Amino acid sequence: MDTQEKKIVTIGGGSGQFIFLSGLRDLEDIQITAIVSMVDSGGSTGRLRDELGILPPGDILKCILALSPYQDSCRSILLKRFQKDRRLAGHSAGNMLLTMLSRYTGNFPGGVMALAEILDVDGTILPVTIDRATLVAELTNGQRIYGEEAIDLPRGTQREQIRDVFLVPHHHSSISVYPPVLDAIEHADYIFIGPGDLFTSIIPNLIVPGVKEALQKTSAKIYFTINIMTKFGETHNFTGKDFVINLEKRLGRKIDGIIGNKTKPIKQTLDNYLEQKSNFVDIDTTDPFWESRKIQMDDFLDIDSIIVRHAPKKLASIVQKIILKN
């Protein structure tokens, strides 16, 4: 049996990538590289970005924790928020530590590597870009919304669908991909995109110049983990097919397959989500659309969580099956 390690690349951000990496961490014979979105603008992360001019540390911190063997013990400490000091209030300990390490090493990737070393991370974590930028969403009515947080948390009870998203650089005329990202994509055996918010966690990686082109040229198999629930303001009323169409539009190519959940949460949970205008994502596997894409449908629901999310171990199991099948 071929025991050569397979190179796995994940692309995303936020809680979705944390969950996916938490599952992959325990698999054997794989090398993990996480490519992480750099447009988070909310909470502690947004304040540090605006006040100190650093790259947003929040999503990177989640990936570091996900791949650390000390995740359970360190998570409560690094995600703890300060309360007593006026300047520190609201900031998480992990964000402040990553900020300090980045300043001391002289660059953000150096700070990431230093914190990963502290926590014995088994894998590589890469910001998709080290250029500061703001995510902008253009709606179907022509309105533009500036900033990941504003896009992510729509005001009011109605909003037009997102037509497109793009990045506006802060201090340069353009945005460039962090070079190690291209190397990771080129040498990957498998690339797993998602789960995560489509327009604020996933697509922001793909619209960084150079990423789409690298994904078009790679020989790696590309799989997309479709979200379990829709999100008002981003993917309202989306089916699984809609998720893939929007993703492939930005990729400029077809993906090789999808990972889709087939188990509905209990009615009470669905009713709670419906109050937030969020629905279960239906994937019609009989649609001819899927004929050229492999479908991995199973029960990926985390029954131990009070919110609807994928179960890390279930995702890891399907990744292992995909690798073994090929």
pTM of the model: 0.92
> How confident is the model over 21-29, as a mean pLDDT?
94
54's tokens: 């650093």
Position 15 in a domain: yes
pLDDT at residue 174 tops 90? no
Tell me if 296 is assigned to some domain: yes
User: Is residue 99 assigned to a domain?
Assistant: no
Q: Which domain holds residue 21?
A: 6-38+179-325
Residue 31 lies in a domain: yes
- Is residue 153 domain-resident? no
pLDDT at 173 over 60: yes
Mean pLDDT on 3-21: 93
* Model confidence band, residue 10 (pLDDT cutoffs 50, 70, 90): very high
pLDDT recorded at residue 88: 75
173 alpha carbon, distance to own chain's centre = 26
Confidence at residue 75, expressed as pLDDT on a 0 to 100 scale? 83
- What residues contact 225, with CB distance under 8 A and at least 6 apart? 16, 20, 192, 193, 194, 195, 258, 259, 260, 310, 315
Structural domain includes residue 100: no
Question: What pLDDT is recorded for position 49?
Answer: 54
Residue range 123-130: mean pLDDT, rounded: 96
Contact (Cβ atoms closer than 8 angstroms) between residue 162 and residue 199:
yes
- Higher-confidence residue of 4 and 177: namely 177
pLDDT at 45: 57
Residue 2 has pLDDT above 70, yes or no: no
pLDDT at 95: 85
pLDDT computed for residue 149 by the predictor = 83
Q: Which of 106-120, 126-140, 147-161 has the lowest mean pLDDT?
A: 147-161
What digits encode the pLDDT tens for the residues 209-254? 999 999 999 999 999 999 999 999 899 999 999 999 999 999 999 9
Q: Please name which of 36, 14, 27 lies closest in space to residue 211, comparing C-alpha atoms.
A: 36
Quick one: what percent of the chain has pLDDT higher than 90? Answer: 71
Whether 290 is in a domain gets the answer: yes
pLDDT at 182 (0 to 100): 98
Q: Write down the mean pLDDT value for the chain.
A: 90
Instruction: Look up the CATH number of the domain holding residue 244.
Output: 3.40.50.10680
What is the number of structural domains in the chain? 1
Please tell me which residue, 153 or 74, carries the higher pLDDT value: 74
Flag whether pLDDT at 172 surpasses 90. Answer: no
Confidence of residue 39 (pLDDT cuts 50, 70, 90): confident
Inform me whether the pLDDT recorded for 47 exceeds 70.
Answer: no
Residue 170 lies in a domain: no
> What phi and psi values does residue 75 have, to the nearest 5 degrees?
-60, -45
Share of the chain above pLDDT 70, in %: 93
Q: How confident is the model at residue 1 (pLDDT cuts 50, 70, 90)?
A: very low
CA distances from 191 to 10, 69, 116, 172, 258 (A): 6, 23, 22, 30, 11
